[in-house]
Amino acid sequence: MAEGFDEHEHEHATQLADFLARHPNTLVLTGAGMSTASGIPGYRDREGVRRGNLPTQGPEFRRSQAAQRRYWARSMVGWPVLAGARPNAGHRALAALEQGGHLRALLTQNVDGLHTQAGSRAVIELHGNIHLTVCLDCGERSSRASVQEQLVAANPHFANIVATPLPDGDAQLEPEALADFRLPACPHCGGTLMPDVVFFGDNVPAARTAAAVAMMDAADALLVVGSSLVVFSGFRFCRLAHAAGKPIAAVNLGYTRADPLLTLKIEKQAEHLLPGVAHLLNQTGGDTPLQHFAQGETQ
């Protein structure tokens, strides 16, 4: 049995390892639950109910300076938590599984960039990357870290505010007076900046969606990790897999929108389960069924 694994955890790891051994071209889809062990709060509870502030809506952000001030003020306060986040054991295990040839590719609904930091290579970030900003006027991209320096210099009265962190660099903060909050400006043209992410109310870019759908078409199974799949941009891949007769496994605490479609569901935290799965597959090569591991025959 793998070191540090109890019998119950070992059984779950063996089930998922066997699923991946039988489907070596599995596509992985990850959500916010993947990154909670890295200190980034998730969006929803076990029943799929949303927590925290109402999300920023893309159309409102683009037309309203008040919405921009509200977003950037909360982001300025919440950014340090996200900027300091590092990949957890679950991220590293998925990277190891990809490198070992046990996964085809990875789609993520997360914008934190932690999969690529962990070493995953075949990654599509469906909702973008919060570490970049894009100018709505000239289209140039800038680093979010440099924008934070600009925000702090322009709004020193916000620099020492402490608030409960929320997903994606947001904070539980509703400033009463934002009229004097100074917005960041594009370093290239002085235009309006927004994070390079897909806000609620916006669509995933068509080319990105097409590339992700092509990945699903080429895969022989789907593995969902840390997502309730309430948002359609993720759930659509479960629908595609099910329609094509491809098996779907999920590792998630609590409800997922795809529960009726699942072949296998394991209610464990990714950072606890996935390292054991990687251990089992990478020590066997993943080329045979793993039933023998159920008897505790690992090293």
Residue type, 93: A
Q: Which of 12, 115, 127, 131 is catalytic?
A: 127
Six-digit token string for 222: 């789907």
Q: In sequence order, which residues have a C-beta less than 8 Å from that of residue 176 and are 6 or more positions away?
A: none
Q: How far apart, in whole angstroms, are the C-alpha atoms of residue 283 and residue 129?
A: 33
Chain centre distance of CA 92: 14
Q: How far apart, in whole angstroms, are the C-alpha atoms of residue 81 and residue 225?
A: 22
Q: How far apart, in whole angstroms, are the C-alpha atoms of residue 18 and residue 32?
A: 25
Q: Does the active-site annotation cover 115?
A: no
* Residue 100 vs residues 24, 94, 178, 189: alpha-carbon distances, Å: 10, 10, 51, 45
Q: How far apart, in whole angstroms, are the C-alpha atoms of residue 243 and residue 239?
A: 6
> Is 238 annotated as contributing to ligand binding?
no
Handedness of CA 130, 135, 141, 147 (dihedral sign): negative
Q: Output the known binding site.
A: 135, 138, 186, 189
Q: Output the known binding site for Zn(2+).
A: 135, 138, 186, 189
Catalytic residue set: 127
